[in-house]
Each structure stands twice: as C-alpha cells, then as structure tokens.
Amino acid sequence: MLRSTFLRLLLSSIAVSPTALRAAACSSAPRKLILIAGKPSHPPMMHEFRAGTILLEKRLQQVPNLKVERHEMGWVRDEATFDDAAAVVIFSDGGGGHPAIQENRLQLFEKLIARGVGFGCMHFGVEVPKERGGAEFQRWIGGHYEHQWSCNPIWDARFESFPEHPISRGVKPFEIRDEWYFNMRFAEGFDTAQPTTVNNVQFTPVLAAVPSNATRNGPYVYPPGPYPHIQQNAGRRETLLWAVERPDGGKGFGFTGGHFHTNWQNEDFRRTILNALCWITGIDVPTHGVDSAAVSDAEIRENLDPKGKR
C-alpha cells in the first residue's frame, strides 16, 4: 500500500500538463520564415529581388528546423500565412511604394510584432517615408532610410572587424562594391559605434565601414547631393547592417546593401545574410556561420526579372 501510494505521488510530481506538451510540440516544429520579393525595378542585374530570394531560399533548405516560404511581386498570396510565421523579411523597393505601408499593412505588422514575430528589410526596403512608417520602423527594426537625411552612394565598403553577434559568425573581413546607404534615421539613443540598450531594446551595429571623403562628397545616386550633414562626419564609421532584439521577444534587422545581384557570389556577403535570416527566425546560427554552396556565373543569371536586353 505504501509502495503504490509512493509511486502515485512520484508519477504525479513528474506529470506534464497538456499546455506544456503543446508548448514542447510547438518548440520542435519548424520555424517559418516568409521572404517577400518586390516587383521588378531598375536595370538588369540590379534590384533582382526575385532571383536573390530564390538563391537564398535554395541555400536555406539545408538548415534544420527552418521552413522558408517565398513570395513574389511585393506581397503574400494569402495573409493567413502570417498566422504561423516566425519572421518576415522584405527585399524590395521602398519609399512611398514600400509593401509594408500599403493599405492597412502597418496595422497588420503591428499585430505581428506584438506577437514577437521577427521583421527584417533589405536594401531599398529599409526606406519608408518619415511620416508613414518611420516611427514604426524605428520601433520594429531600429531605424530606416530617411529621404535627404540618409544617402545612397555607390562605394567600396571594407568590413574589417565585427561584433560578437550570431549574424557575424564565420564572417571574414571583406570588401565589396554596392549601393551602401548610410546615415540611417535610427531610434533615439542608439550608439552606432557600439552595441547599446535603450528602453530594453538591444541594438547591435553588425556591418560598419568608413566611407571615403569622396564618397561623402557625392554624387549620390539620388538626389546627387552632397549634403553638408553627411560631409561634416568625415571619417566616421557608418552602420550598414544592424540588428535589434525587442522586449517583446522579437528581433529585427536592416541591411542597406543588395543593389548588385552579383554580390551574392561573395561568400562572406552571402553568409552574413544567411546568418541574419536564421537569427531573425529564431534558428541557432552555427559557430562558424551558415555554410552555403558557391553561386556560379550560370546560376547568377537564372530567374532574372524581365527587364529588356541584358
């Protein structure tokens, strides 16, 4: 009798509740990353959002516990797909045509963010109008490109050192030419020279480089500039990829590169973004970073948007 009573007490003490079982099942389920590629724009081999996301999706197939769902033409086919998303990343044109600010989508993203969904934007996708989306992007991803406050020259950025962060794992120093936007409109209090925490938001500048004085003096892609407030910061390291961890548990990142499609052939450029896509989705990034197959000249010419003669 005493023995059976002891066994019942022991079993009850280690019993797992249905809620705990559901939580365990959810934690083992694949994490879903939604990649949204923008509509065709720019000349061939530039802003190849569709081809770029196809390259990334292909290389993320090897990542355990990650499910990638890719969409084209600037939006998802059915917004119900957001219901089980762990993260959403947009690689598209921005400004007034940014996919995230059309119709009632700012409200939709507000609900996703409140649920802890990760949110990232790449290249032109980091730009939204100050008056529509600016405040939200500062809260969601830490900052945004602001017209005529930020600038968009084409220059060779040299990345020589990296902070301790999952996105930088396995990334070696590299130099690459891109339309690297800089002087973002970051949320107040963020120190772009080093990791900082403001209002329980952790901000980390992951990729940073020093533009030359000639780069600061312009011309920029549009408007050509130069802007005196850009010139007066000569010698300053500029943050080109940053990451935030929000108090709601979600994560965000902004990446200003990605203009030239051929840059995906650079292993360290590619690894940085593959790391970022895993990190924002809640996938553990390996200590050496995400390995991926090289991108051949033939593959870089696949899936390009119809933009006329190449």
Using a pLDDT cut of 90, give the percent of the chain over it: 87
Sorting pLDDT into bands at 50, 70 and 90, what band is 191? confident
Mean pLDDT score across all residues of the chain: 91
19-33, 60-74, 190-204: which has the minimum mean pLDDT? 19-33
| Beta bridge pairs of residue 90 | 36, 121
CB count in 10 Å sphere of residue 256:
28
Return the ∠ at Cα 38 (arms to 76 and 142), rounded to 5°: 90
How far, in Å, are 26, 124, 132, 164, 167 from residue 288 at the CA level?
A: 27, 29, 39, 12, 10
143-183 per-position pLDDT tens digit? 999 999 999 999 999 999 999 999 999 999 999 999 999 99
Report domain extents, the chain: 30-300
CATH of 30-300, one of 3.40.50.880, 3.40.50.300, 3.30.70.100, 3.40.50.2300: 3.40.50.880
Sorting pLDDT into bands at 50, 70 and 90, what band is 231? very high
What is the model's pLDDT at position 9?
Answer: 42
269-279 per-position pLDDT tens digit? 999 999 999 99
| The amino acid at 116 | G
Preceding amide of 223 cis, omega within 30: yes
- Over residues 257-286, the mean pLDDT reads 98
Structure pTM?
A: 0.90
Residue 172 DSSP code: P
13-17, 79-83, 85-89, 229-233: which has the minimum mean pLDDT? 13-17
Preceding amide of 226 cis, omega within 30: yes
- What does 187-229 look like in DSSP terms, one character per residue? PTT--TTS-EEETTEEEEEEEEE---HHHHTS--SSS----HH
How far, in Å, are 16, 194, 275 from residue 237 at the CA level?
A: 52, 11, 22
SS3 68: strand
